[in-house]
Amino acid sequence: MMRTMELQISETLFQRIEQAARLAGVSTVDFMLQLVRRSLREWTTAELEQQEIEAYKRQPVQPGEFDGWESEQAWGKP
């Protein structure tokens, strides 16, 4: 199901969006949808990163907690 959304933006911003869409070779609507999708992905990533930061604040890494993984990280000499 698709929904319609009405959006009011300044003439200057609209012209910039039209120009960018032309350069990208897509319609203005497709360009806007791409921007919204990208923004939501970035927002989701930032939100997950913030949740991880908060989790580590609540339960900090303990000394030696990841020592057993050090050998797994060793790449050796080229």
Is the confidence at residue 75, as pLDDT, over 80?
A: no
pTM: 0.62
CA 35/CA 19 separation, integer angstroms: 14
Report pLDDT digits (tens) over 2-40.
Answer: 899 999 999 999 999 999 999 999 999 999 999 999 999
**pLDDT given for residue 53 in this prediction:** 92
CA 24/CA 18 separation, integer angstroms: 10
Is the confidence at residue 62, as pLDDT, over 90?
A: no
Is the confidence at residue 73, as pLDDT, over 90?
A: no
Domain ranges (residues) in the chain:
14-59
CA 43/CA 39 separation, integer angstroms: 6
